[in-house]
Amino acid sequence: MAIGLKKPAEIEKLRAANKIVGGTLELLRKNTKVGMTLKEMDAMAEDYIRSHDAKPSFKGLYGFPNAVCTSLNEVIIHGIPSDYKLQEGDVIGYDVGTELEGWFGDAAISMGVGEITKEDEDLIACSKDTLYYAIENIKQGMRFKELSSMMEQFILERGFIPLRNFCGHGIGRKPHEEPEIPNYLEGGKAKAGPKIKNGMVFCLEPMICQKESKPVILENGWDVVSTDGLRGSHYEHAVAVINGKAEILSLA
């Protein structure tokens, strides 16, 4: 596995692409209201991205039809925007990608619409808190498998489980680069595999299920749900390893 190292100037290019992602997610967060359709949210995001001289990198990627993944309630990731109108108590996830001058950005949030239940608040908090916990604990020299194990343990201690078969990833001149970073330990040995080094840029994205971790892809070929049929959540940031620590690139 060849994990590329980015030069400081290249990290700044990635920061610029990811800053637009962060701004897009803030726009979506502020405008998520009862009665808004998922297609309206998607169009708003695409307009914002293009107004910043970037491209919505998800549009057409692997055949995805829209700018934003809008994952509603039971859909954990990769939801396709529809004419559905947001309702009080919904949980909505937004995943946004950009391309700016050949460099890529990627991040995601989950949030409630209006008043939501304590259970849904806990569900959303699990993905967000797992992400920030992992970022705070990244150190140069630790192994990616240690990072995966750390995220899995945090999720389990919250009473949830990570979605299987989907993962975080490197990012740079391609939207998905090496390494793959699952939210759970594969193979049983955390002290194995590639080490985290200065100059690495990657996306962490905890995807949370309630009772069962096995994914099902729905008939549209994109929406991913759990076999338990319950609501999920998803959070993501792009980070760069600088001076031995992880720095978030995808903030507005």
- pLDDT higher than 70, residue 45: yes
Beta bridge partners of 143: 195
Token readout for 170 is: 């490197």
Q: Give the chain's domains with CATH numbers.
A: 8-248 (3.90.230.10)
- pLDDT higher than 80, residue 30: yes
Question: Alpha carbon of 203 to those of 67, 105, 144, 246: distances in Å?
Answer: 18, 9, 12, 11
- pLDDT higher than 80, residue 149: yes
Sequence-ordered list of residues with C-beta below 8 angstroms from that of 101, at least 6 positions apart, any chain? 13, 16, 17
pLDDT in tens, 196-213: 999 999 999 999 999 999
Mean pLDDT estimate for the chain: 97
User: Mean pLDDT throughout 127-151?
Assistant: 98
Sequence-ordered list of residues with C-beta below 8 angstroms from that of 34, at least 6 positions apart, any chain? 85, 86, 87, 88, 113, 114
Degrees, nearest 5: CA angle 27-136-230:
60
pLDDT at 2 (0 to 100)? 84
pLDDT at 1 (0 to 100)? 63
pLDDT in tens, 78-126: 999 999 999 999 999 999 999 999 999 999 999 999 999 999 999 999 9
